[in-house]
Amino acid sequence: MARKERDESGMAVPSKRLGRLARFTGLGTSIAGNVLVEGAKTLARGEALDGEKLLFTPRNAEKVTEQLAQLRGAAMKVGQLMSMGGDDMLPPELAEILARLREQAVHMPPPQLRRVLNEAWGNGWMSKFAKFDPRPIAAASIGQVHRGNTKDGRELAIKVQYPGVRDSIDSDVDNVLTLIKLSGQMPKGVDYKPVFAEAKSQLHEEADYLREGAMMQRFHEILTDDDRFVVPEWHEDLTTTDVLAMSFERGAPIDELEKADQEMRNTVITRLFELVIRELFEFHLIQTDPNFANYRFRQDTGQVVLLDFGATREITEETSQGYRRLVEADLTGDWKQIEAASRALGIISGDLQPQHEEPLKGMFLAAIEPMRFEGDYDFKASNITSRMQAFGIQLREAKFDHTPRADLMFLHRKIGGTYLLAQRLGAKVNVRSLLAQHGF
């Protein structure tokens, strides 16, 4: 089936563990076959074999990306988790494969969609709707979103979970880890088990749409009097573990801010930075997924529409205070104070080797640059994310083997994702002033 035809008609999600395992097994076999073929060609040319180049051929990269995108669920989500803000610690070829998953998702075909909704709502569910569009308006790693109008006058966005996702989370995460190990590119000495255990925990939470609805409602109530933000209203009567109903909120994709004037870009991104600060130090509740698709904006008002609360995590008072001490140390610019606060929080541990300390220090000082800058910090002109990535590559090449607290990695994804968005949109933000407004 041609890709265009496949995308228009959808592709069924393998819903049974055996079927999903077969996909992973077939993927590994196919990659191995391609390696043998390419290896034979390399030897025939009289060239030396390079295992990494053989594993990461364009053909293999395309196959890995397509298969993980079709499996969706945890397989796709782990790729997104590892690539978002973590490319610097992965081989470039593997990072490219995982990064592609942020852009790829194939929706369920209509018959499979009907089966899922029949199981969630009962066979007569259409009697509640004046209109239900079977074509999704969005498709992601765990579910796809549809628009519907109920007969009692509600305009809804309805997220439908792919079948089998919840039951396959643990095995899918383990299989993705196996694929990465198969590549031979897992950084030596780094213990990724806590990271993958945390990923499993988060994915189980994200797959519970009743939990997500409750988190959405908490944010809705927290921000109800803040007209800078719009949070959908949860419709509990039509929500199950597999189907999430919420008010449909209009807004343009955040990427379209690139076409807006400088003032609008600055306004929207400033609001997102302040939201992160309030989440950490005021709400003690943070939505940790910085995927750009989770934000929309309204051109006429500059309001930011917040979507997708599956990755929402509660922040303990201890962690919040630890970050407060870290920010206070960051504002001094003194590496010794920053290192001490980072160790107390669990970001750094153990003795640093000389070859590790300088790039680690460089990465930290680059990351805090917007916090210490007096005035509007120009994210596009600073190349801050590129510099952080360069230091990250140095750490990987120097065999840096420390893994920070797994739960903190997800918080850092949110902060790093906000930096990436600010740079992409060319925003100028007075981060120092925002921190001062919140007691720093």
| Buried/exposed code over 107-132 (b: 16+ C-beta within 10 A; e: otherwise) | bbeeebbeebbeebbeeeeeebbeeb
Residue that has been written with the tokens 């796709």 in this structure: 76
281 neighbors 437 (Cβ within 8 angstroms): no
Distance between CA 224 and CA 218 in Å, rounded? 10
Distance of CA 272 to the CA centre of its chain: 16
Distance between CA 327 and CA 329 in Å, rounded? 5
Q: Which two tokens stand for residue 324?
A: 């407060």
Q: What are phi and psi of 18, to 5 degrees?
A: -65, -40
Q: For Cα atoms 409, 414, 419, give the angle at the middle one, nearest 5 degrees.
A: 115
- How many C-alpha atoms does 9 have within 13 Å on its Cβ side? 9
Distance between CA 164 and CA 15 in Å, rounded? 4
Residue that has been written with the tokens 């997102």 in this structure: 272
Active site residue 170: no
Among the listed residues 129, 311, 325, 357, the one whose alpha carbon sits nearest the alpha carbon of residue 209: 311
120 neighbors 245 (Cβ within 8 angstroms): no
Of 88, 172, 289, 330, catalytic: 289
Q: Which two tokens stand for residue 256?
A: 């379209």
304-306 and 229-230: which strand pairing?
parallel
Phi-psi region of 399 (alpha: psi -120 to 50; beta: other; left: phi over 0): left
**So which residues are the catalytic ones?**
289
